[in-house]
Amino acid sequence: MVDFIQMVVSGVAVGSSYALMGLAMVIIYKTSEVPNFAQGEMALVTSFVTMMLLTTFGYPVWLAFCLAFVFAAALGAFLEFAVLRRAKNPNILGTIVITIGLEMVLLGLVSWKFGAEQKTMPFPIGPYDSFIIGDIFIAKLEALTLVSALVLMALLFFFFRYSRLGLAMKATQQNPTAAKIVGIRTNRIMMMTWGISSVVGATAGLLISPVIMHPFMMWDPMLKGFAAAVMGGMTSLPGAVVAAYMLGIIENLFGGYVSIEFKSVVAFAIIVLVLCFKPSGLFARHYVKKV
Amino acid sequence: MKKKMMILGCMILMLFSAPIAWTEEGVTDTEIHIGQWGPQTGPAAAWGSVARGTGDYFKWINATGGIHGRKIVYHMFDDGYNPAKTKAGVKELQEGTGIFAWASGVGTSPGLAVKDYLMERKVPWVGPAAGSLHWVSPPEKHLFAVYPLYYNEARALVRYAVEDMGKKRVAVAYLNDEYGKNGLRGAIEELEAHGMEVVAQVPVEQTDSDVKPHVMQLRKSDADMVLLWTTVSHAVRIVGTAKAMNFTPQFMSTSTCSDFPLMNHISKGLWEGVICATFGELPDSDHPGMQQYKKEVFDQFASKDERWGMFYAAGIIFIEPMIEALKNAGPDLTREKFVTEMEKLTGFKGVGPEVNFKPFDPNDMYSRQGTRQTFLVQCLADGKAEKLTDWITLD
């Protein structure tokens, strides 16, 4: 029983970073229907810049993190403005290819500037400091990631539902032309969306960085976050978060009780099953466009 | 007609008056072309310093007169640890430029992608930067391995754990590929020789970033020694997660995780106490050879971002026997002479293990596996190393 509880707790803990990446992907998809495969590398760039602020320039953690969020927002907005917006009437396939291209460029930039050797980021909480309750352990850093994911999910949920900007973002996704007619500056909305999404993704990157940093550190969280977003329905923020936690728990239970060798691929098997039986995802209320 | 005869005459004259070019591929009167692949980008790029170490070593050799008046022309390319890229790059250089011999090359999978190609063309390849049994089982006439076998490293570590530390329950966490399985095999066989069994075999996939399920299995096995045959990142995560779970066995690991300053830094000090096998004198040792390389190779030729670490030094360690054989082959360099000189290396001692080759015997892997030696080191608090053993020779 202790093992089972530990696996569930570990699943929730690891699911938190998937949840943050899933949230970041959903934010962009909700507004522009672009599955952003550069999400992980956007977080990667921010994480390495933050490490540079901490180690090279000696900034205190609070200041470096504040600057990191500003940088992340600017990076997201810049990529939308400089790259995505320049594409002429791209279809979904085109935008996927563009974001994959961006991913490669950002990955190359990080490898070139910071090298490939593993590093860690200084952080007030050690990556392996933990709470032990009975026989169950929870890493403090993962507990912080869990709280961050839940807080961000709640903030974003209320933002999209009740704020004018959030409603404008939803309107832009549902009908850009109508949104423009009622005075919404859709281009600006898109830029803001990318900025917000980049900040959410960067939160995941910054909370992974105290463990280990290398140019490929965001691949696994990004892929699992994408899997969670698909499971949750791609447009549902709570859906992505719940699916991410489900994914983390299923992975851990599968690794513990079935096969540790296939633990990592179970996420993708779940995507296939979800797409077969409920293509709109587990939690999405699908908006149907008139043609 | 007269004009045609003159042109023909000129062509014949040009043909015979041209300087005699060297007939061996990759060798001219002034140059020896040597190739190497190494991951400068991608998931294994931390091991890219092996190829850079070799490059700087060649620069030093050229600066000190070359080899019988010839300079080494070094062709290094980034394969990103991708076997398809390794194969494409090797073929391009071999068939385009013409390479005399290949030096080192990081990784079992990239090396396996080109092994047959090089052996079919009878191109010598010295010192693959991986301790795989694939290089020598079966042995190949033109492939000379210098890296201690992972299999032997695992045996040495398990032997030390059982005989010197009195460990009774040994578990293995291994990368689920050839590299990891070589270590697992060594551990199983050494334990069998002591009438024991591995108490847990836990495979780790390259893509795993969460190792809690793995550590739970290790903890459940109640192991008092855990052998880590994984990537650097996985090894650090396992040690850290075990600490978080209050699971504190003796951790031991392979030479690929023996760069203690790096390991200690990225584990935030948790690598202290871990015991590793290693393939050469430590970079910070007072061994005169290492000190000379630090002063004359690293300080003179390394780029400013380079670190004098274990993997950089490995780029020299694996290639020392090659340079020795090139010198011994004399000025009339051919591949045949070079291979013969490699075979004559017995008791060769540079900054790595003692190297002994023999005339080619298809039934004796030690005719091409140059060393059976390794030694064990323990990581100290500041990332420095304490030597636990002298060079251990395994049967």
Bridge partners of B276, per DSSP, are B253, B377
Q: Which of A204, A225, A208 is nearest to A268 (CA)?
A: A225
Residue A273 domain-assigned (yes or no): yes
Domains B31-148+286-360 and B150-278+376-393 fall in the same CATH topology: yes
Residues of A with CB under 8 A from a CB of B: 3, 6-7, 10, 13-14, 108, 111, 115-120, 126-130, 132, 137, 139, 211-212, 214-217, 219-221, 248, 251-252, 255-256, 260-261, 263-264
Beta strands in B264-306 (DSSP E): 275-278
CB contact under 8 A, A116 and B41: yes
- Highest-confidence range of A120-129, A266-275, B353-362, by mean pLDDT? B353-362
Residues of A in contact with B243 (CB under 8 A): 128
Distance of CA A164 to the CA centre of its chain: 24
* Cβ atoms of B31 and B16 closer than 8 Å: no
Percent helix, percent strand, percent coil in chain A, to nearest 5: 70, 5, 25
Distance from the Cα of B220 to chain A's closest Cα (Å) equals: 9
Facing residue for A111 by CB, picked from B45, B265, B305 = B45
B240 contact A CB<8A:
yes
CB contact under 8 A, B266 and A120: yes
d(CA B102, CA B338): 12
CB contact under 8 A, A3 and B216: yes
Distance of CA B384 to the CA centre of its chain: 22
B232 contact A CB<8A:
yes
pLDDT, position A166: 87
Scan for tokens 């910054």, then name that residue: A206
Q: Residue B272: what are its φ and ψ, rounded to 5°?
A: -55, 130
Q: Which of A147, A152, A185 is nearest to A169 (CA)?
A: A185
Residue B16 has pLDDT above 70, yes or no: no
pLDDT, position B3: 63
B219 contact A CB<8A:
no
CB contact under 8 A, A118 and B262: yes
- Assigned token pair, B245: 């779970």
Residue A290 domain-assigned (yes or no): no
3-state secondary structure of B58: helix
CB contact under 8 A, A127 and B240: yes
Chain B residue with CA closest to A6: the answer is: B216
ipTM of the complex: 0.80
Scan for tokens 């959410």, then name that residue: A200
Q: How many residues does chain A have?
A: 291
d(CA A39, CA A106): 10
Range of the structural domain that residue A203 is part of: 2-277
Residue B237 has pLDDT above 50, yes or no: yes
CB contact under 8 A, A108 and B40: no
Q: DSSP secondary-structure letter at B134?
A: G
CA distances (Å), B392 to each of B128, B248, B389, in order? Answer: 21, 27, 7
Number of other CB atoms surrounding residue B145 within 10 Å: 28
Facing residue for A128 by CB, picked from B42, B202, B244 = B244
d(CA B61, CA A97): 47
Domain count, chain A: 1
Which CATH number is B31-148+286-360's, of 3.30.70.20, 3.40.50.2020, 3.40.50.2300, 3.30.465.10?
Answer: 3.40.50.2300
Question: pLDDT averaged over chain A?
Answer: 87
Strand pairing category for B71-78 and B275-278: unpaired
pLDDT, position A153: 87
d(CA A107, CA A129): 30
d(CA B188, CA B53): 34
Domain layout of chain B by residue ranges: 31-148+286-360, 150-278+376-393
pLDDT tens per residue across span A137-184: 888 888 999 899 889 988 988 988 899 888 888 888 788 888 888 888
Q: How confident is the model at residue B14 (pLDDT cuts 50, 70, 90)?
A: low
CB contact under 8 A, B212 and A219: no
Q: Which of B328, B265, B323 is nearest to B293 (CA)?
A: B323
* Cβ atoms of B79 and B86 closer than 8 Å: yes
CATH code: domain of residue A221: 1.10.3470
Contacts of B16 (CB under 8 A, 6+ apart): none
Distance from the Cα of A109 to chain B's closest Cα (Å) equals: 11
Query: Between residues B359 and B21, which one has the greater pLDDT?
Result: B359
CB contact under 8 A, A212 and B236: yes
CB contact under 8 A, B202 and A260: yes
* Cβ atoms of B131 and B150 closer than 8 Å: yes
B265 contact A CB<8A:
yes
pLDDT, position B249: 96
Contacts of A109 (CB under 8 A, 6+ apart): A45
pLDDT, position B20: 44
Chain A residue with CA closest to B239: the answer is: A128
Residue A105 domain-assigned (yes or no): yes
3-state secondary structure of A254: helix
CB contact under 8 A, A212 and B233: yes
Residue B355 has pLDDT above 90, yes or no: yes
d(CA B25, CA B335): 9
- As to burial, measured by CB atoms within 10 angstroms (0-12 exposed, 13-18 middle, 19+ buried), residue A288 is exposed
pLDDT, position B40: 84
Q: Residue B32: what are its φ and ψ, rounded to 5°?
A: -125, 125
Residues of A in contact with B245 (CB under 8 A): 130, 137
- Assigned token pair, A35: 């599955």
3-state secondary structure of A236: coil
| Architecture in CATH for domain B150-278+376-393 | 3-Layer(aba) Sandwich (3.40)
Q: How confident is the model at residue B317 (pLDDT cuts 50, 70, 90)?
A: very high
d(CA B340, CA B348): 15
* B94-113 residues labelled b (16+ CB within 10 A) or e (exposed): beeebbbbbbbbbbbbbbbb
Distance of CA A71 to the CA centre of its chain: 16
Residue A288 domain-assigned (yes or no): no
B233 contact A CB<8A:
yes
- Percentage, residues of chain A above pLDDT 90: 32
d(CA A278, CA B300): 63
Query: Between residues B51 and B262, which one has the greater pLDDT?
Result: B51
Q: Look up residue B187 and give its amino acid.
A: A
Residue A1 has pLDDT above 90, yes or no: no
* A224-250 residues labelled b (16+ CB within 10 A) or e (exposed): bbbbbbbbbbbbbbbbbbbbbbbbbbb
Q: DSSP secondary-structure letter at B45?
A: G
Number of other CB atoms surrounding residue A131 within 10 Å: 11
Q: How confident is the model at residue B18 (pLDDT cuts 50, 70, 90)?
A: very low
Phi-psi region at A279: left, alpha or beta (left = phi > 0; alpha = psi -120 to 50): alpha
- Assigned token pair, A161: 């539902």
Strand pairing category for B170-175 and B143-144: unpaired
pLDDT tens per residue across span A49-80: 999 999 999 999 999 999 999 999 999 999 99
Residue A269 domain-assigned (yes or no): yes
Chain B residue with CA closest to A119: the answer is: B266
Distance from the Cα of B268 to chain A's closest Cα (Å) equals: 8
d(CA A242, CA A233): 11
Q: Look up the pTM and report it.
A: 0.83
Residue A286 has pLDDT above 60, yes or no: no
Q: How confident is the model at residue B10 (pLDDT cuts 50, 70, 90)?
A: low
CB contact under 8 A, A116 and B213: no
CB contact under 8 A, B270 and A130: no
Residue A291 domain-assigned (yes or no): no
Residue A289 domain-assigned (yes or no): no
B residues 195-214 closer than 8 Å to A (CB): 202-203, 205, 207-210, 212-214
Q: Look up residue B80 and give its amino acid.
A: G
Q: DSSP secondary-structure letter at B64?
A: T
Residues of A in contact with B302 (CB under 8 A): none
